[in-house]
Structure 1
Amino acid sequence: MGENSLDMIEFELTLLHRRLTSISTDKTIGNLDQSAYLLLQRIAYHGSTGVKALSDEFRLDISTVSRQAAALEQKGYVSRIPDPLDGRAYSLHITDQGIEELMESKNARQARIEELLKSWSDEERSLFGQLMKKFNRTFTS
């Protein structure tokens, strides 16, 4: 990779991070913060899962995910399902209220993205999505 492209990518990622951070605190795009949104999204689309699996997937400490999960449980967005083989372990299951909150946030986020990309062609949107997906998958390698 050329130094110019590496410079451009590094700067644009830094700028993107800053802008996403400012958007994630904007309450007009839903009531879920980024961590809550990611956890609920993961549980909703892949099924009940444990804190350890979530911490591995998002590369976070178990204590961090446990705190985030406790906050989601307190709000009624997830419930704990005890592990029948290990009385100390449990899986997190998204509740109807959690699904409702997730969908509200997802729709608001998608509306914001749609507004930002309104001048882009379908081909540009598709390519951008494919490249973002490819980039994000490199972290799991």
Structure 2
Amino acid sequence: MNEKSVETIQFEMATLVRYVTSVSSDKNGKLDRSGYLLLHRLSSQGSTGVKTLANEFHLDISTVSRQAAALEQKGYASRIPDPTDRRAYSYQITDNGKKELAAYKKERMNKVKNLLKGWSEEECEMFGQLLKKFNRSFS
């Protein structure tokens, strides 16, 4: 691996994080990035426990517990008791959570579409696939 390539990648990733953070905040304060990711996961793959979520997002259980509790307080997620272990529970997305997720996702999609206006469909497809491949390398 070429040292110059790695240097370019690491710098551009740092720059990307700064830009993404600046354009992805919800002005209404209803949903933040962590809430979006948790709701997206619950919506796309179904209910799951905090331990599984923590493993998937490479976070500690207490962090995910706080994030999930915040979603529960807003009415975006609800707890489902585990029938085999009364201490354990899973989270599922609520109807209100589905609505908020859809609205937040639409807003994010519009922002990304605007950023990619001058890109060809092929470039967008390649960029998406490379980002996906890169993100999977963390697993």
- How do 1:1-141 and structure 2 match up within 5 A? 1-27=1-27, 31-140=30-139
Measure, in 2, the Cα distance between the counterparts of 1:15 and 1:38: 21
Measure, in 2, the Cα distance between the counterparts of 1:138 and 1:31: 31
The CA RMSD measured in Å over matched residues stands at 1.2
Give the structure with the higher percent helix: 1
Q: How many residues align?
A: 139
Q: Which runs of 5+ in 1 are unaligned?
A: none
Q: Secondary structure at the match of 1:82?
A: strand
Amino acid at match of 1:8: T
Deviation at 1:20, TM superposition (A): 1.3
Measure, in 2, the Cα distance between the counterparts of 1:53 and 1:23: 29
Measure, in 2, the Cα distance between the counterparts of 1:101 and 1:87: 30
Give the structure with the higher percent strand: 2
Runs of 4+ in structure 1 off by over 6 angstroms are none
Q: Which runs of 5+ in 2 are unaligned?
A: none
Q: Secondary structure at the match of 1:80?
A: strand
Amino acid at match of 1:96: D
Q: Secondary structure at the match of 1:27?
A: coil
Measure, in 1, the Cα distance between the counterparts of 2:95 and 2:126: 34
Percent identical among aligned pairs is 61
Render the CA deviation track for 1:80-116: whole Å, top value 9, x for unaligned. Answer: 0000000000010100000000000000000000000
Deviation at 1:122, TM superposition (A): 0.2
Amino acid at match of 1:138: S
TM-score, with structure 2 as normaliser = 0.96
